[in-house]
Amino acid sequence: MDTFGRLDTIQEAISEMLLGDEQLSKMFDDDFAKAEEYRYKLNQFSAELEYIIKMKVEMLPGEIVAPHNATRKFKLPKLELTKSTDELKDYVNF
């Protein structure tokens, strides 16, 4: 028997055990319903997100690329380099 055949028989045995007991069957059905609800919400959210992204990209094509004549002015701090002399104590700060 091949691997997939063995997996199928094991899956069937597990399903029979789960569905044979009433309490386990109810727990299995509840978990399955929760998983389906989660999958539905995930697909819905994914579709909404794709739609929003598509609308944003279509609405703002000119704003994504900066114009070539746009200049920005930044105020940078002034750096002052220490002047070194020939003395050894001045090399510590340098």
Provide the number of structural domains found in the chain: 1
Q: Which residues 6+ apart lie within 8 Å of 94 measured at CB?
A: 82, 84
pLDDT value of residue 45:
95
Asked if residue 72 belongs to a domain, the reply is no
Q: How many helices (H) and strands (E) does the chain have?
A: 3, 0
* Predicted local distance difference test score (pLDDT) of residue 62: 57
Is 84 within a domain? no
Segments of the chain scoring below 70 in pLDDT: 1, 60-70, 84, 90-94
pLDDT digits over 56-69, tens only? 877 765 555 555 66
Is residue 65 in a domain?
Answer: no
Query: Does residue 94 lie in a domain region?
Result: no
The reported pLDDT for the residue numbered 79 is: 81
Please give the Cα distance from 52 to 41 (Å, whole number): 16
Q: Would residue 71 count as lying in a domain?
A: no
Range of the domain at 29: 3-59
Q: For position 63, what pLDDT does the model report?
A: 56
pLDDT at position 50 is 93
